[in-house]
Chains A and B, each alone.
Chain A
Amino acid sequence: DADVTQTPRNRITKTGKRIMLECSQTKGHDRMYWYRQDPGLGLQLIYYSFDVKDINKGEISDGYSVSRQAQAKFSLSLESAIPNQTALYFCATSDLPPANEQFFGPGTRLTVL
């Protein structure tokens, strides 16, 4: 089984709808991250969490919110989706330093019409 899973894998929605993307991990890592990827722009950090009670904004948090329900679960919400949030979304985890390698999920392709 995959260590980092994301649901759904694909989603098409309409402008103004509320969307939740879910991430689960079985690696036992404290640190979890949400990124979006747009062609030519690389990965942009949306939010990150270093433990259940520690959540931080990344480069592009406007229009997004997150919830860390447990060590293994980190959800990303779009309260009112807009077309420029159409992108590929990745969840990632990492262990505590000095093990800084990030492990990524398979991604969620979100289309907002």
Chain B
Amino acid sequence: SQKIEQNSEALNIQEGKTATLTCNYTNYSPAYLQWYRQDPGRGPVFLLLIRENEKEKRKERLKVTFDTTLKQSLFHITASQPADSATYLCAPRGNNNDMRFGAGTRLTVKP
């Protein structure tokens, strides 16, 4: 069955550093993968989409990579700020054209 793993449940970093979050998937080959941000008690908000033929995508301080050989996506936040503290979810497209979400990584950026 399709499986999605985000490498750690929680990540704590110092303000100004780069946060790197990992998403691994098994047993399928998604045509694209999305990253979302979720704040406590609120719905996820879309951040970035990367397609299987793209190696890297950037948006302001965010960067996403997609390695279809390793079946892995990395999500980077450079020059992190306390306002970046949230849970980040990866979502590779499922085989039935639906979306499947990882459990998320809770990022805390300390001032």
Whether B9 contacts A40 by the Cβ 8 Å rule is yes
Partner of B104, one of A42, A90, A103: A42
Known: A42-B89, A42-B103. A105 touches B43 (CB 8 A): yes
A74: Cβ under 8 A from any B Cβ? no
Whether A100 contacts B49 by the Cβ 8 Å rule is yes
- Chain A 30-47 interface 0/1 with B at a Cβ cutoff of 8 Å (1 = within): 000101000011111100
Complex alpha-carbon distance, A42 and B90, angstroms: 10
- Chain A 94-108 interface 0/1 with B at a Cβ cutoff of 8 Å (1 = within): 000000111111110
Complex alpha-carbon distance, A102 and B36, angstroms: 9
Known: A56-B96, A100-B32. A42 touches B102 (CB 8 A): yes
Partner of A45, one of B32, B36, B42, B100: B100
How many A-B contacts at CB < 8 Å in the complex? Answer: 53
Name the CB-closest residue of B to A105: B43
Main secondary structure of the interface of B (DSSP, over half): loop
Name the CB-closest residue of A to B47: A101
Interface residue count for B (Cβ, 8 Å)?
Answer: 25
Residues of A within 8 A of B49 (CB): 100-101
A92: Cβ under 8 A from any B Cβ? yes
Known: A42-B89, A42-B104. A90 touches B9 (CB 8 A): no
Whether B101 contacts A100 by the Cβ 8 Å rule is no
Known: A40-B9, A45-B98. A104 touches B45 (CB 8 A): yes
A49 vs chain B, min Cβ distance (A): 11
Q: List 5 A-B contacts (CB under 8 A).
A: A43-B89, A45-B98, A45-B99, A102-B46, A105-B43
Q: Report which B residues bind A (CB closer than 8 A).
A: 4, 9, 32, 34, 36, 41-46, 49, 89, 91, 93-94, 96-104
